[in-house]
Amino acid sequence: MGLALVHSRARAGVSAPPVRVEVHLSGGLPRINLVGLPEAAVRESRDRIFAAILCAQFEFPARRITVNLAPADLPKDGGRFDLPIALGILAASGQIDRNALGEYEFLGELGLTGELRAVDGVLPAALAAAKAGRKLIVPPGNGPEAALARDVEAYTARTLLEVCAMLNGSKALVPAEAAPPQLSVLPDMADVRGQAQARRALEVAAAGNHHILLVGTPGCGKTLLASRLPGLLPEASEAEALETAAIASVSGRGLDPSRWRQRPYRSPHHTASAVALVGGGADPRPGEISLSHNGVLFLDELPEWDRRALEVLREPLESGTVTVSRAARSSEFPARFQLVAAMNPCPCGWAGDPCGRCRCNPEAIRRYRARISGPLLDRIDLHVEVPRLPPQELRPDAAAGESSADIRARVERARMVQLARAGKTNAQLGQSETMQWCRLREKDQALLERAIERLQLSARSMHRILRVARTIADLVGSDTIDTAHLTEAIGYRKLERGERTQRAA
C-alpha cells in the first residue's frame, strides 16, 4: 500500500500543535496535491521537495501523490513541513523504511540540493515532542535551540540524505548540543551618582516586580536608571527562561540559545504602533510586550507615544496575557512584564526645576500630562521624580553609588519571602490575597483611608499602595506593615496626586 505517516509540528502562538503528514500514492497522471489548509510557502514546497529528492539520488515517483496535513482545520505555514513531506513520499514509495518513522518528529526546510535549513518555533516543538515521547530531528541551525528542552532526544541532520540513511539504519545522526552560555555584563547601579530616591524606588520595584514611572527634566538620568533595573532582578528560573525563549523562538526575530537564561530588556521607540506592542499580523506574532515577558519593557518619552498604542497596555498590565484575534485565528501570548516608563514634567521639560527655564503655562502642562490616560497611570505602582543633579555630584571623583550586586542581594531575599508566603511576587497578588497578606493596624488603616479620600484615588490604587507597602516591609524583613512602610508607599503616587490637584483647580 502506498501510504506513509510522518509526525511534525505546526506553530500556533507559543504552542506547537501536532501535525500528521499523510502521504498516499495512487494511479493517475503524475501530480502532487497538498490539502489541509496549506498557505503559500507550504504549497510552494512541492518544487523544493522534487529537486531535493532528485539531488539526494532517489527516484521521485511518477504517480498521483496526495499529501494531507492533518488536522485539516489548522492553518499550516512556512517551510517547516518540507522534510516530513519529502520523507513521506520516499516512505510511501518504498525507498526508506516507513516503520522507522513512528518514533520521530521532523522539522526543516529543504533547499534544492537537499540541504536542511533552519525554521522558527523549534523550541515549543521540542518541548511538545518531549511530552509526546518522540525524538526530534531538526536542521543544524536549530540544534542549540532544540537542546534547550532537556527532556527531548534531539538530533541534527545536514541533508535529506543523512535523514534517510539514519532511517534505513546505515548512519547515526549527531545529537543536538546546547550552545555555551554567554551572559552579557549588565549596567551597574554604581555608575549612577546621587538620585537616592530614584535608586530606592528601583530597589522597591525590583523586589516586588512593580511598575515604575520616572519623571524628570531632560538629561537627569531617567534612561540611565531604567537600564540598571535588569541588573537588580533575580536570575530567571529555568521554567521562566524557557517560557521567554519560546516566545522569542516563534517571533521570527531569532532566539540566541547562548543567552536564553537572561531576562529580556526591550526599549521600543516611541513611534512604535499598537500592533508592534501587542503583536499581530495575518499570522499572529508576539509584540514587544510579549517579548518582554519575565523581563523589563522600557517606554521612554511616554507622552509622545500614540494614545492608542499606550491604551493596549492596560489589559496586559492586569492579566499578564494578551490575546491577538484575527478573522482566521486567535493566539494568546504571555505578557507578564515589568513596565518602566519615563517622561518629562512638561512639553519643554523644565517644569519644577529650580533654574526657572520653564515657560509652559498650566494649560499646556495639563494637556501634555493628559496624553497619559488615568486608567493607565492608575496601573503604575511607583511615580518617582528624578531631579537634576548639581554639577559637583557629577564630578569623576564623586563617590560612586551602591553596586547592583549589593542591591540584588536584598532584592533576592525579599523575593524569597514573597514566594514562600504566597508563591508569587507582591505585584501579582490578587484582591483576596492582598487583603490576606497586606493587613494594616487600625491607625494605619485610618491613615490610608484619609490618603485615599484626600488624593481621590481609586480602589485599584489603594490595593497597589498596599502591595508596595508589603514589598517595603519585606525588604527590611518585617512581618507586619508599619506606618513608615505605608507612608513611603503613599508617597509614590505623586504624579497622580498632582494630576488631581490640577483638575480640582
CATH number, domain with residue 112: 3.30.230.10
- Give the residue from 151, 175, 199 where a domain finishes: 175
Instruction: Spell out the residues 6+ positions from residue 500 whose beta carbon is closer than 8 angstroms to its own.
Output: 455, 456
Q: What is the pLDDT of residues 430-482, one digit of tens each?
A: 999 999 999 999 999 999 999 999 888 889 999 999 999 999 999 999 999 99
Q: Verify that 377 and 425 share a domain, yes or no.
A: yes
CB 158 within 8 A of CB 116: yes
Q: Verify that 157 and 35 share a domain, yes or no.
A: yes
Instruction: Spell out the residues 6+ positions from residue 161 whose beta carbon is closer than 8 angstroms to its own.
Output: 56, 57, 114
Q: Verify that 465 and 492 share a domain, yes or no.
A: yes
The answer as to whether 421 is a domain residue is yes
Q: What is the pLDDT of residues 254-268, one digit of tens each?
A: 788 888 989 999 999
What CATH number is given to the structural domain containing 219? Answer: 3.40.50.300
> Does the N-terminal peptide bond of residue 257 adopt cis geometry, omega within 30 degrees of 0?
no
Whole domain around residue 28: which residue ranges? Answer: 3-175
Q: Does the pLDDT value for residue 505 go beyond 50? A: no
- Give the residue from 175, 204, 232 where a domain finishes: 175
Q: Verify that 332 and 363 share a domain, yes or no.
A: yes
Instruction: Spell out the residues 6+ positions from residue 52 whose beta carbon is closer than 8 angstroms to its own.
Output: 82, 86, 110, 111, 112, 113, 114, 160
Q: 418: closest CA among 362, 341, 477, 503?
A: 477
Give 60-123 as a DSSP string. Answer: PP-SEEEEEEESTTS-B-SSTTHHHHHHHHHHHTTSS-GGGGTTEEE--EEPTTSBEE--S-HH
- Give the residue from 128, 149, 175 where a domain finishes: 175
The answer as to whether 381 is a domain residue is yes
Q: Verify that 237 and 266 share a domain, yes or no.
A: yes
The answer as to whether 431 is a domain residue is yes
Q: Verify that 162 and 218 share a domain, yes or no.
A: no
Alpha carbons within 13 A on the beta-carbon side of 458: 12
The answer as to whether 310 is a domain residue is yes
Q: Verify that 33 and 123 share a domain, yes or no.
A: yes
Q: What is the pLDDT of residues 86-137, one digit of tens each?
A: 999 999 999 999 999 999 999 999 999 999 999 999 999 999 999 999 999 9
C-alpha cell at 110: 529543504
Residue with more model confidence, 184 or 213 = 213
CB 454 within 8 A of CB 496: no
CB 502 within 8 A of CB 374: no
Q: Does the pLDDT value for residue 164 go beyond 60? A: yes
Q: How confident is the model at residue 353 (pLDDT cuts 50, 70, 90)?
A: confident
Q: Verify that 193 and 162 share a domain, yes or no.
A: no
* Farthest-apart Cα atoms in the chain, separation: 88
The answer as to whether 180 is a domain residue is no
The answer as to whether 316 is a domain residue is yes
Q: Verify that 227 and 120 share a domain, yes or no.
A: no
Q: Verify that 166 and 33 share a domain, yes or no.
A: yes
Q: Verify that 53 and 127 share a domain, yes or no.
A: yes
The answer as to whether 153 is a domain residue is yes
* Total of domains in the chain: 2
Q: How confident is the model at residue 249 (pLDDT cuts 50, 70, 90)?
A: very high
Q: Verify that 166 and 216 share a domain, yes or no.
A: no
Q: What is residue 145's DSSP assignment?
A: H
The answer as to whether 181 is a domain residue is no
Q: How far is 244 from 414, CA to CA, in rounded Å? A: 23
